[in-house]
């Protein structure tokens, strides 16, 4: 038997949601987290993990943005590789391996209007340059299977898309693993309107290249008769069966058909896994504002009003896709603050989504305190599959609670817990500090407390931009310039500059990809492009010095971006091509060196072939997508 399960961010030991995990920018750490999940899963009989989700997502309305690594294919590829390596580790205690299943192939994250299962319209170039690279890398790294997507692209659903499942996957990439449909996605070809009935849906899917039918019953009911009637060659069925058998053999299921069922007792929620969950949660927190260094707090010297519907909430900190977990295992923020012997006055204030509100008690608590820590955001049920949202502000009565606490005049530290970037311009403006904690898993409360009190120096960086308003969506850093860029004078027409801008809001996100503060202060200097002229088969070499100009150690994610200034097709204004997470002691400096193969600087040209075109490029090394030291280089033929 081949037993599959959705182990999205841990089984019993629940880690932060994948979007939060990606904010660590630490593939090695995420590989360890995936391995822990694989160990737990294997001890309860799971052989096949329906993860990682490696869809690129640039629309915060889409609930499943919580399950991936955000908006960028370079970072998304690094995280996909880490998770595949972790899931498919060789030395599981049960004696066999687990197969990863990257999903959803492909373009699912570009659903129109951010509405789950919706149609997708992508050019083939965008598909190849943005959405396919994480899949190509994950499958080349040995992922045993891949899951077809619910969505259509240009009128053809992913589950019967011969171009994607045969031309790209089999012919171009030469991959021979198992393709499984998503849940009932073969049956849903009838609803899509490309199949008249379940029998025709089965035919379309097997001909396109889907080996396994998850849940619809189409193959079970109709595949044999399709072969008997000559509508499906038996050779296609043989190929599908062979791939499934090869997967089972590669996992060792025949050699280890039985395993020790007592292993789970000493494996699930093991202390080392809980410690790892804490480390991931700590590194996933993103500090976006810290006016006048209101953080870190001082234990024992400040009275803290802890307020909000997520301040002492266990279940919602687990986030989406945490079906096997137990809420009793979750540490809340109230629990975490208690570890610091803090003087805490706690009030819930309101629920997450309801209209109930107890302003009197919340304001009284704030007035008795020196500082207010407000923990607000979304419930676990507000993100994930089939949980798209149009309005991305705080739900329910939480905005009224926030306004009342701002009116007290006490320093207000907002801790935001969610499954997606939210639209929070007033919170960003009026909070003294803003800490994005996402849905952080079983150790979320301790991780938040550790950062609030400075036991841990925050180091997380955003992997998905925060919009200023829903009307900006999709908003992402790697956009095109257009013929009338927002920056500069634009084109003068009727004596006015006509540019690609809004009348009533900035183009820029509220917080951009790569942003995140630290209690340390990092300064960048001495950018050097060591290869100002480099051949297409060469390696771009760039260095810069990063100095920790503060009195405490900290970690910094150093990011390298490039721009191809002139191409046969238009290019993004910036593209992430490398990153390094470094740790510097107080007053320490380090020269950071990037070596980027020039072959990674290409794109699919007019003929849809991948190439690197000669010409001029810009390069930046800096702390995020909006800032950095700038240099230049030229690629020659």
Asked if residue 359 belongs to a domain, the reply is: yes
If asked whether residues 429 and 540 sit together in one domain, one would say: no
If asked whether residues 448 and 583 sit together in one domain, one would say: no
Q: Which of 182, 213, 450, 564 is catalytic?
A: 182
SS3 per residue for 189-219 = HHHHCCCCCHHHHHHHHHHHCCCECCCCCHH
**Mean of all residue pLDDT scores within the chain:** 97
Instruction: Give percent of the chain with pLDDT exceeding 90.
Output: 94
* pLDDT tens digit sequence for 301-318: 899 999 999 999 999 999
pLDDT reading at 80 higher than 90: yes
The model's confidence at residue 489, banded by pLDDT at 50, 70 and 90, is low
Residue of 593, 599, 602, 578 whose CA lies nearest to 535: 599
Q: Is 587 tagged catalytic?
A: no
> Domains in the chain: how many in total?
2
* pLDDT tens digit sequence for 354-370: 999 999 999 999 999 99
If asked whether residues 567 and 443 sit together in one domain, one would say: no
Q: Is the Cβ–Cβ distance between 594 and 621 less than 8 Å?
A: yes
What distance separates the 2 farthest-apart alpha carbons in the chain? 81
Asked if residue 305 belongs to a domain, the reply is: yes
The DSSP secondary-structure symbol of 302 reads: S
- 600: CATH: 2.60.40.10
* pLDDT tens digit sequence for 546-596: 999 999 999 999 999 999 999 999 999 999 999 999 999 999 999 999 999
If asked whether residues 534 and 386 sit together in one domain, one would say: no
The model's confidence at residue 85, banded by pLDDT at 50, 70 and 90, is very high
pLDDT reading at 490 higher than 90: no
Asked if residue 609 belongs to a domain, the reply is: yes
Instruction: Give percent of the chain with pLDDT exceeding 70.
Output: 100
- 389: CATH: 3.40.50.1700
If asked whether residues 321 and 412 sit together in one domain, one would say: yes
Residues 6+ apart with CB under 8 A from 250: 97, 99, 144
Its domain, for residue 531, covers: 522-636
Q: Is the Cβ–Cβ distance between 549 and 506 less than 8 Å?
A: no
Asked if residue 352 belongs to a domain, the reply is: yes
Asked if residue 3 belongs to a domain, the reply is: no
Task: Report the pLDDT value the prediction gives residue 202, as an integer from 0 to 100.
Answer: 98
Q: Is the Cβ–Cβ distance between 374 and 402 less than 8 Å?
A: yes
If asked whether residues 445 and 531 sit together in one domain, one would say: no
Residue of 444, 443, 581, 583 whose CA lies nearest to 27: 581
Asked if residue 587 belongs to a domain, the reply is: yes
87/97 Cα distance (integer angstroms):
9
């Amino acid at each position: 038997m081949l037993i599959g399960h959705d182990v999205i961010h841990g089984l019993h030991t629940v880690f932060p949601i994948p979007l939060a995990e990606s904010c660590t920018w630490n593939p090695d750490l995420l590989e360890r987290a995936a391995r822990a999940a694989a160990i737990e899963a294997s001890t309860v009989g799971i052989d096949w993990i329906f993860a990682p989700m490696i869809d690129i997502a640039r629309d915060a309305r889409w609930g499943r943005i919580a399950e991936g690594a955000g908006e960028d294919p370079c970072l998304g590829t690094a995280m996909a590789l880490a998770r595949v390596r972790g899931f498919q580790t060789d030395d599981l205690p049960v004696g066999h391996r687990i197969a990863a299943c990257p999903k959803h192939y492909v373009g699912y994250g570009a659903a129109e209007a951010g509405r789950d299962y919706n149609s997708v319209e992508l050019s083939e170039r965008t598909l190849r340059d943005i959405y396919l690279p994480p899949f190509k890398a994950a499958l080349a790294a040995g992922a045993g299977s891949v899951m077809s997507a619910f969505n259509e692209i240009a009128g053809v659903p992913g589950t019967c898309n011969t171009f994607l499942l045969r031309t790209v996957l089999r012919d171009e990439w030469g991959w021979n693993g198992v393709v499984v449909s998503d849940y009932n996605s073969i049956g849903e070809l009838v609803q899509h309107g490309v199949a008249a009935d379940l029998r025709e849906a089965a035919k379309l899917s097997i001909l396109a290249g889907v080996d396994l039918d998850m849940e619809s019953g189409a193959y079970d009911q109709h595949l044999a008769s399709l072969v008997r009637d000559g509508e499906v060659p038996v050779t296609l069925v043989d190929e599908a069966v062979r791939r499934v058998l090869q997967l089972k053999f590669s996992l060792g299921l025949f050699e280890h058909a039985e395993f020790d069922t007592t292993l789970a007792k000493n494996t699930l929620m093991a202390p080392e896994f809980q410690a790892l969950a804490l480390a991931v949660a700590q590194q996933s927190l993103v500090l976006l504002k810290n006016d006048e260094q209101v953080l870190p707090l001082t234990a024992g010297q400040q009275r803290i009003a802890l307020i909000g519907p997520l301040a002492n909430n266990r279940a919602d900190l687990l986030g989406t896709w945490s079906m096997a977990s137990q809420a009793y295992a979750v540490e809340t923020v109230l629990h975490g603050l208690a570890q610091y012997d803090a003087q805490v006055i706690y009030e819930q204030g309101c629920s997450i989504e309801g209209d109930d509100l107890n302003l009197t008690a919340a304001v009284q608590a704030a007035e008795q305190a020196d500082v207010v820590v407000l923990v607000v955001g979304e419930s676990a049920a507000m993100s994930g599959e089939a949980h798209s949202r149009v309005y991305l502000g705080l739900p329910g009565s939480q905005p009224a609670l926030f306004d009342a606490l701002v009116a007290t005049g006490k320093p207000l530290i907002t801790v935001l817990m969610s499954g997606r970037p939210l639209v929070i311009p007033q919170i960003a403006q009026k909070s003294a500090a803003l800490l994005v904690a996402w849905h952080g898993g079983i150790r979320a409360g301790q991780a938040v407390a550790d950062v609030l009190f400075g036991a841990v120096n925050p180091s997380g960086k955003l992997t998905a931009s925060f919009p200023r308003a829903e009307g900006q969506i999709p908003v992402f850093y790697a956009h095109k310039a257009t013929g009338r860029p927002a920056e500069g004078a634009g084109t003068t027409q009727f004596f006015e500059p006509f540019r690609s801008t809004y009348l009533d809001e900035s183009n820029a996100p509220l917080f951009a990809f790569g942003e995140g503060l630290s209690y340390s202060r990092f300064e960048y200097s001495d950018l050097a492009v060591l290869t100002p002229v480099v051949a297409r088969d060469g390696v771009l070499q760039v260095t810069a010095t990063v100095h920790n100009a503060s009195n405490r150690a900290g970690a910094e994610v150093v990011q390298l971006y490039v721009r191809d200034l002139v191409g046969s097709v238009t290019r993004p204004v910036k593209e992430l091509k490398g990153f390094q997470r470094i740790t510097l002691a107080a007053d320490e400096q380090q020269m950071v060196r990037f070596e980027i193969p020039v072959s990674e600087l290409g794109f699919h040209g007019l003929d849809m072939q991948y190439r690197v075109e000669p010409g001029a490029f810009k390069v930046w090394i800096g702390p995020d997508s909006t800032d950095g030291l700038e240099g230049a280089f030229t690629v020659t033929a």
